[in-house]
Structure formats: C-alpha cells, structure tokens
Structure 1
C-alpha cells in the first residue's frame, strides 16, 4: 500500500471497483469492503472469501506488475492459471463448463484468482504445431457435420457481432454462451465430412467464443473475457487458421493494455503479428493487428517503433479494396477504427493535439451501426481535450457520450468513460462553470440508474 501510495480508503475503493467488474452483481464474502477491512488486513487478519484475489488484482493494476498473495503476506494460494486458463485444458472441456444463467466460469475463476498476468503467458511454438495436427481418428458416434452447419455458426456470430457494435457487450452474451455450450459443442464432437470441414467448424466456433470474450471485455467482465479468449485461441489453433489466432491474440493484447499490463500486452501483440498470423492475413486484418501492436509499443515507450507500426497499419488499410475477400470478423474495422486506435497511440505518446485530431476523424467517419465504439471514442476524446485545458470543449464532447449511453448502450467500457469523466471534472466543480455543473449532475443521475 505504501508503494501504491494508497490510503486505506483509497485501497478499499480500488478493491470495490475490481470486485464490481469481476463479480458482476454476484454477492460473495467480501464482495464489497470498507476502510475498516483494509485496516484489519494491514494489522495481520487474514482476508476471507474472494478478498485475497481481488486485493492482489487491485494492487497489480496500480503497480503495473503482478502482486501475488504470498507477496502481500496472505496464506491462501490463488493460482490464476487454473481451470479454463490452463493451455493444456481441452477447449471442448472449457465449452462444456460454460454456465447457463449463472456464470459457472466466473465462479471457478474466482476460486483460482482473477484476471492476472500469469494467465497471459502464451504457449510455445510446439504447442501451436501440435494443436494444428488433425485428430488421429474420427469419433465413432456424434452427429454428421457439414458445410451448412459451419454456415449456421458463422451467421449467428455475425448477427451477435453487429448487435454488440450497436448496443454493447452487455446485450446477449449469455445467449452466445448457451449456444456455444449446446449447439456448437455438439458440432465439434461430431463426425465431419472431411478435414476441411472440421477445420472450418473449429474456426467458426473460435470466432463465436472470441465474440463472447469481446462482449465480456466490453462489459468489464474481465476474468470471464480472458477465459473465453483462451478457449477461442485453442479452437483457432485446432483449425490451423493463423490469422484468426492473431485476431484473438490482438483482442487479448487490447484487454491487457486497458488493464495496465503493458509488458504482457506488448508480448501478446508481438505474437499476434508473428509469422503467418500477419503474413497470411488480408490487408484489413493486417491493419487491425498492426495498429493494436502500435498501441502496445507506445505504452511501452517505444515511440519510433510505434510510429512505424502506425504507418504500416495505414498502408495495410489503404490496400483493403474491392476484390479482396476479407473475413467477416473484420467488418467493423475501417477508417474510423484506425483513427480511434491511432488517437489512443498518440495520446499514450503524449501528443494530445494530434490525438484529438484523430479522435475527431474517427467520430466524423464512423457509421451509425457502430454506436458503442462511437461512445467510447467520444469519452476518450473528452479526456484528451481536458488534458489540454479545453474544459468547455470536453464538456460538449462528453454531453454527446451521455446522449449515446442514455439511448440504450450497455457497455462497461463506455460506462467507465462516464466514471472517468466525473473524476476529471472534480477539480472544476467549484469554479462556477455552468457546463461542468450541468454535465456532472447528468452523469451522476446516469450512473445511479445503471449501477
């Protein structure tokens, strides 16, 4: 706590933020604490329930390195690489364990730790090679699976993906999980017409598992998201689809970066653009992989490398044109998305003026079908504007965020921009600026309604 420069009240507040996003409303022992709890733990009382895992996670995010229970002085063991986060666990087992109604995955993850750097260590190349090998023999039983079944999974993925872009990850993820556990698992255990169909079904299933992970990430259910990404990577590796593996690794890097795990995010992003994951990808997907890699380089302080990666991503996207068949999973990535990620990169490099320019380009060029990301972009832009001293300008931008959020967007990331907005406005509340007072009051009402 001294290293984190936290008071006991600040430690409790940070704990409660992590607990809220991890438990997602589930009541557990020590699911919410006060400063008195922290005082007891500092004095030597051993925390119970989910407290060790949650507190270590809060400290890890603050200090930008993994803090283990042992380092803090707790006697409980919480290995975050257990269960579905272990690369040796068959992805079909992970799918079979998906919960219905109550998220059983979240329960298991909380007994073995929450989102943690230890679960971000990727397997070596021998693992990837072994996973891509066809099975030694086909199952004797199971339903016959053909190309039409693959098309069905892909169509459902596209439908939910578009809803996610419009309404946010808080809509429909449980339905996706239920379909994964029931229909998709039966397909993966079935008898395939040929090896090409088998690989196609594993790839289609990987994309749906990835979508579930992305929706959980967007809704701030970070431990669940990591579990789904892990399963999706395994399924993609089984399919032998290298660009798809890169696509999922890119999402893992994005999440790790947002949560402050910078070195881990960089390693995963580097893996996402390694070998055929980038070389065999289409131009639009290359641009997506490359721009997230640029962001991780910027967060790591590698300014020149980040700039080069941004230029490469721009070149790749400029090569995405009619006649090149892009995978459906890249439908959302265009000029607006590239501008958004470029702006985040420039912001992390300290170039706020150019970052605001790119955020504006993103807002200007984004279509109406991508309302969730639009709200997130506006939230980031307002934060960058206020960092430049543009208080009135930031308030106008953030007003647009609330307009979007109040129109039915359910996204933890978008909601977090409203929380951050109130924090950034706090130094200006007593200055008598009408726009600040009006916006802060509106944000307070909004958060009270959704919390």
Structure 2
C-alpha cells in the first residue's frame, strides 16, 4: 500500500467519531525503529481521481495556508475540535493533490507541505492524549519529508516524536530521536537547528547531566541569532522566550527547581503579549507545580489562577489533565484561604476526564 492510500485510511478513521475509539486505543511505541535518511523509499504513486488534473502554485498555497490557519487555531483553542478538520482536509483535498501530476519542483514542495500538515495533525492528536495516533501521523510526516528530500521537515517530525517521548517520560528514547533529527545538523535552517539544540539540551539534562546539556543550550542561543521570521508555520520562530523555556526545562531536568521557576517566570513575562490560550494553560500550570514544589503556595495559586482564566476557552486533553492535577495538588492545602478559594472556583469549571 502506498503512502497516499495509508494517509487516506488514517484520515478517514480520524474523521469518523464512531471509529475514533479504535485509534485512541493505540499506544506510543518506545522501541519503534526509525529509519535514517538514507533508508527513504518513495512509495508515492500517481492515481488520478478526476478532481484535479495537475497541481501548481495555487494548490501548494492552499495547503500551506490551511496548515497555518489550523496551527493558529490549535495554539489558541487546542486540538480536540481542530484535528477532525485537519483529517478531513487530508482525505478530501491533500490526498488527491499527492496523487496528481505536476512538475518535479511543485511535487516536492507539495510533499513538504503535506509533511507539515501531518506533523501538525500528529501534534494535535498528542495534545488530545492520543499518543499512538500522534506517532502514526509523525511517521507519515517523516515519510513524506523524505520523499520530498526535505531535511527540515524530516527533522521537524523527529522533533515532535522526541517531545512526545519526553512528555511520556521516555527520556532515552527522546534523546535517540533528537540525535537522529540532528544527524545532518549543518544542512538544516538555523531556526530548526535552534529548536533541535534546545530539545537536545533538555533530553541530555535528563539522561547525561549538566556537562552534556549546557553546550546545547549555548548552541541553541547561537542558532537563534542566525534565524529569521520566515520559519515553518507549524514550528514558529525560535526567539528569546523559547530559549528561556528551554533553560527552565534543562534546570528542571537537573533538579534545580528554584532555578527552573525563575526561568519560567521570565518566560511567561516574555509571552504575556501572545494570545495563545492553550500554551498559557500549560505554561502557567507548569510554573505553579514547580512553585508549589519549593513551598511557594501563594505564588503557585496565582499562576494556577492565570491558567484557570484561560482554560474555559481551550479544548485540550493536556489542559484537562493539568487542571485535574491542580485540584489534586491543592487538596492538602485547603485550610489556606487562597488555596481553598481557587479550588472551589476551579471545581466549577474544570472538566475531569481520563486522558489516554
């Protein structure tokens, strides 16, 4: 079976509410064999379906514009309600484009655009807590990127899988995936190099220690200075705020919780003018959890209050999980009036549900 047909079948399953439980049952595979760049196999085939005779600049622009728009919606509102739209677009529009002729240059750019959309769809699946599904979309993104000879898109998919592994606590797997993404570091765009170096720094902090982690943070900072704002829509621009977040994660990985809190506070200040509600819920929850860990209950309640303010606008499995965790974390402190007031306010709005 070719890439396009596999993508259609995956998208159709994802579009159908009655069958999505089948996808939800999939789990993240730690031992997955990730083929390197040289192992790419072009399994694409042209199979006209009568809707589009030939693709060109207009079709590429449509896919990239839709991906950018879906990415904006995801950052603002979360992926639960956005991903079915992405799956529908993949099946009904993208797949016919991938099965249609065009110049060699146009087809490569369409494959790159398709890889970006699959990466984004995988990211939204992970946000909903559907880990196995997210991994399947990331693998499709990798395969499309290799067929397009697009190393940045290939590294982007590996970055997504590494982030997923870190979230699930598979630190060695995350390090392996990030190392694979950085295998041909010099050929990547500076913006991608910065993201990968920051990710590698965190994975190294969790597995190899400070001596391995901090050189990658310095590398991320150097590459940030070379990057421009024309980066891939689904990744965004590596900027000072992102670097500060990576520093916070590295400190956390090295058990420097107080230092991590200080970096996260600087990060949230740098982020305050960006209206990304899902990001705000996750970031302020992370800050609150670490503030509570070092005994700063009042500060933690203030951070959680900011997360709770943005939470009603977000449809995100990860956000649901973090808010449910907040309620559990506050229970031992309900004699404190601030903690009790926050807990009572949160119970009225927090959706507690199992996140797979």
Give the TM-score, by structure 1 length: 0.72
Aligned pairs (5 A) from 1:348-363: 348-363=253-268
Contact 1:343 1:355 in 2 (8 A): yes
Whole-angstrom CA distance in 1 between matches of 2:18 and 2:171: 28
- Residue 116 of structure 1 corresponds to 29
- Residue 17 of structure 2 corresponds to 102
Secondary structure at the aligned position of 2:315 is classed as coil
Aligned pairs (5 A) from 1:301-312: 301-312=208-219
- Residue 161 of structure 2 corresponds to 252
Whole-angstrom CA distance in 1 between matches of 2:342 and 2:294: 19
Contact 1:340 1:377 in 2 (8 A): no
1:175 is aligned, of 70, 79, 85, to 85
Contact 2:48 2:96 in 1 (8 A): no
| Structure 2 segments unaligned to the other structure (5+ residues) | none
The structure with the larger Rg is 1
Return closer, same or farther for 1:123/1:423 CA change in 2, 3 Å cut-off: same
Whole-angstrom CA distance in 2 between matches of 1:170 and 1:256: 20
Contact 2:48 2:99 in 1 (8 A): no
Contact 1:284 1:330 in 2 (8 A): no
Given the alignment of the two structures, is residue 154 of structure 1 paired with residue 64 of structure 2, yes or no? yes
Secondary structure at the aligned position of 1:368 is classed as coil
**Displacement after TM superposition at 1:139 (Å):** 5.6
Whole-angstrom CA distance in 1 between matches of 2:327 and 2:24: 32
- Residue 380 of structure 1 corresponds to 286
Secondary structure at the aligned position of 1:418 is classed as helix
Whole-angstrom CA distance in 1 between matches of 2:168 and 2:346: 23
Work out the number of aligned pairs and report it. Answer: 348
Contact 1:106 1:224 in 2 (8 A): no
Secondary structure at the aligned position of 1:102 is classed as coil
- Residue 284 of structure 1 corresponds to 191
- Residue 314 of structure 1 corresponds to 221
- Residue 272 of structure 1 corresponds to 181
Return closer, same or farther for 1:108/1:399 CA change in 2, 3 Å cut-off: closer
Aligned pairs (5 A) from 1:134-283: 143-192=53-102, 194-275=103-184, 278-283=185-190
Contact 1:299 1:348 in 2 (8 A): yes
Deviations 1:93-141 (A, max 9, x none): 221112233274651673xx522213x321244423x44xx97x86677
Given the alignment of the two structures, is residue 90 of structure 1 paired with residue 5 of structure 2, yes or no? no
Moved more, 226-235 or 410-419: 410-419
Contact 2:55 2:100 in 1 (8 A): yes
- Residue 364 of structure 1 corresponds to 269
- Residue 236 of structure 2 corresponds to 331
**Displacement after TM superposition at 1:216 (Å):** 1.2
Whole-angstrom CA distance in 2 between matches of 1:90 and 1:426: 52
Instruction: Indicate the structure whose relative CO is greater, using CA pairs within 8 Å and at least 6 residues apart.
Output: 2
Return closer, same or farther for 1:241/1:160 CA change in 2, 3 Å cut-off: same
**Displacement after TM superposition at 1:296 (Å):** 1.1
Contact 2:67 2:116 in 1 (8 A): yes
Return closer, same or farther for 1:300/1:449 CA change in 2, 3 Å cut-off: closer
Give the TM-score, by structure 2 length: 0.90
Whole-angstrom CA distance in 1 between matches of 2:73 and 2:171: 30
1:298 is aligned, of 188, 202, 205, to 205
Contact 1:105 1:224 in 2 (8 A): no
